[in-house]
Chains A and B, each alone.
Chain A
Amino acid sequence: MKKSKKIPFIILSFLCSFILAVVPFPAELNDYRPAIPAIVMIYWCLKAPQYIGVINGWFIGLGFDVLHGSVLGQNALGFTLIAYACLLYDSRFKFSPRSQQIVFVFILVAFYITVTGKISQIFASGDFTMTHLKGALFTPLIWLLLVALFRRTESKDNSLL
């Protein structure tokens, strides 16, 4: 599959993740809502670094801030951090086993939740406690789903993952 054909997939996956991030959940489950935009961000940073990097990540984060009603720059900063970490770790990530990849993604998502939570505590009326890290619990599941989903669409491109 040609590289340029990735772009619709990238846009579509981000839109879907945005929708899933603001769709109403039952109140009891809301704490466990996975940070899907962050996971999608990690995925494309590693998979298509020529399209999704630090700058684009920042703009996508800004868009998410507007949609989510958070302080302008909160998720932009979070996505920038994710993109930077991914780009630094990129070459090692490709050659590490699947289990290590999942641990890396999990830690990155937990870090993202902590940073954005702290920022919303400082700059807005948010509250951050360790319970918010429940949102990272389902990260490995979402990650595996995402890999399986896009592996199918790009079965011939085995250069990554």
Chain B
Amino acid sequence: MRDDKASIGKGVDGSLIALYLLLVAIGITAIFAVTYREGDPIVSSFFSFKTDYSKQFYFFIIALAVGTFILLTDSKFFPATANLWYAVGIVLLLLVFPFHSNVKGTESIIRFGGFQFQPAEFCKVCVCLALAKYLSRIDTDFTKTRSQLIAAAIAVSPALITILQKETGLALVYFSFFLVMYREGLPAVVLIVGFSIAALVIATLVIDPNILAIALTAIAALVIYLNRRQVKRNKGLLITIVLIWGVCVGIQRFAVPFLFRHILQKHQTERIFSLFGKDNPYNDAPDEIVAASAKKPVNTADYNVRQSKIAIGSGGVLGKGLLSGTQTRYDFVPEQRTDFIFCTIGEGFGFAGTTVLLAIYLILLFRIVAVAERQRSVFSRCYAYGVAAVFFFHITINVCMTVGLAPVIGIPLPFISYGGTALITFTILLAILIRLDADRQMVLR
């Protein structure tokens, strides 16, 4: 018994566990601040499973149990079953199509009994494991394009399924795994091209199409002029430049409108455009809502963000104190227990509170990277980077959307947002990492 305990505890990274417990505690406190009403009996309602903070508390108990179970598991189990988990994850994702229940416009939730389960959330763990497994295979040569494509397919295919479930926000998370591939040697060019395309898409949204086309043409002409000597010698270069120009204009002229008209949901395009303070120009189906909104008093798409900014901004330097925030206490910010939980902290504890929270997250991320770098096994390292990437993406996008730097994408803030699936998933992600790290002396494949 004693020996067993020692073997569990041995090598376990205490700082990660401490950070984890701290964040969960902050989360439950924040949810308490949102949902507690004067006169509620605190202690009894905490254990009643009726209020949200009580539910979150029980989710935490479950998460702790799951985490302990994982810590008791042999670390070889994870690389050994990684592909199996991936298969399970994909199957679960596909099961959503026949069995989903419609909750708040999303079709990604399976409901059994009183519980809701979102496979897209859980599938992150599977992808993380499978990607690590693939990258750590001895016969994977990640310098080859073929391997890179396979790795990308492993990461992106659940994303595609998730998009079909109208959960674009969750799907975007899977693109964060490119960070892992980058660490493992994915050419920087790929990321540069990716960023360029992203920049081009944003430019398409912000700048008038014709002006942008002219600007692109001018840039292309300038590049040809500057490289006129090489172009004279090498016709291939000219063709490349013209091709790039063609692709750019194509994206700007056809791909982006197609994306906004046919792939993204209407509310998503509106959220994106409201971020830039614009009306949705791709709304070419003027239905009765648009007709009625000829005199629309407020832009409803950015209501959340405006109220969220007001909430955070009104916190000031030191905040109004727990339970004193008028914005978050009186439901001005929608979804403030879940996706907009950051507002509660911003309003209650001010700039001091938000920076401290960001610092805790940054310490967590740096700690995970440090842990990753001390792994001997490629599997463990890849997995650790996967965890860091997922956390990083969630934190960045969630906080950015509450402060108005990113469009509203419904993804939770790790360990803090209300929600059982999310909390348990993040706990599993971290617990597996801690388990793998505890056995870092072993070489895993």
A and B associate: no
